[in-house]
Amino acid sequence: MFPEYAERASRLPGAVVWTKRAVVGRTGGGAAGLVLPDGCMDLLWTEGRLLVAGPDTTAFRPGPGLRGPWAGVRFRPGAAPALLGVPAHELRNRRVDLADLRPGAEVRRLTERIDAAPDPAVALEELAVRLAASAPPEDPQVRAVVAALAAGRTVAATAEAVGLGARQLHRRSLAAFGYGPKTLARILRLQRALALARRGVPLAETAARTGYADQAHLSRDVRELAGMPVTALLGS
């Protein structure tokens, strides 16, 4: 039904539509099937179910009941809470049925419609577009926080740049991203480092270019956030 994994840009700004075929057999301890923290939340479909993936603080490995096939819409950091009407921290490190967040009869109709669609990923994206159309406008301060932290600015510099005090920034971050700005900065830095390393940049240079103290610091962060050594993650 779906390729092993594929993604494309969504009609929603900054979002990604992705598909993944079912996991067959044991996933083992490698990186196959592993979902790394990325600061994002996803709207998910698998046959007969619509779910929401909350923001992760550590790597997530789907269990036997979550093996797909899957279609998903991954929203950019901070965008999903307004669409779903729930603060991100309430969904941190969780996968919940959409029916827990919206009326059950509505979700059953939506699920049946996507189940019957020729391309469930297209139908799921259409649902996300409709949710976005009826949601409050995205907070420009939230966008500015993500941009600053993704560029490697410190939390203090980010707070000053967006005009928020430290406590205000922390509260806004919990609601928008599911965790505080320090955690978000760490996750975004990890994603920048992995993108460089996957392009073949040596780990020592990757660490230096992404703000780690040294390669050992990068390796510790990967192990803590991904649950495995950086060489195993990149080699899988």
Which domains does the chain show, CATH number per domain?
A: 5-134 (no CATH), 140-235 (1.10.10.60)
Q: What is the DSSP letter of 21?
A: P
Q: Per-residue pLDDT averaged across 124-130, rounded?
A: 97
DSSP sequence for 121-140: HHHHHHHHHHHHHHSPPPPH
106 within 8 A of 46, measured Cβ to Cβ: no
Angle between helix axes 155-162 and 181-198 (nearest 10 degrees) is: 110
Predicted confidence (pLDDT) per residue in 17-45, tens digit:
999 988 655 445 556 678 999 999 999 99
Residue in this structure with the two tokens 């923001």, named with its chain if needed: 55
Ramachandran angles phi, psi of 41, nearest 5°: -125, 150
Cis peptide, bond prior to residue 69, ω within 30 of zero = yes
pTM of the model: 0.91
d(CA 122, CA 10): 10
The pLDDT of residue 26 is: 47
pLDDT at 7 over 50: yes
Predicted confidence (pLDDT) per residue in 140-171, tens digit:
999 999 999 999 999 999 999 999 999 999 99
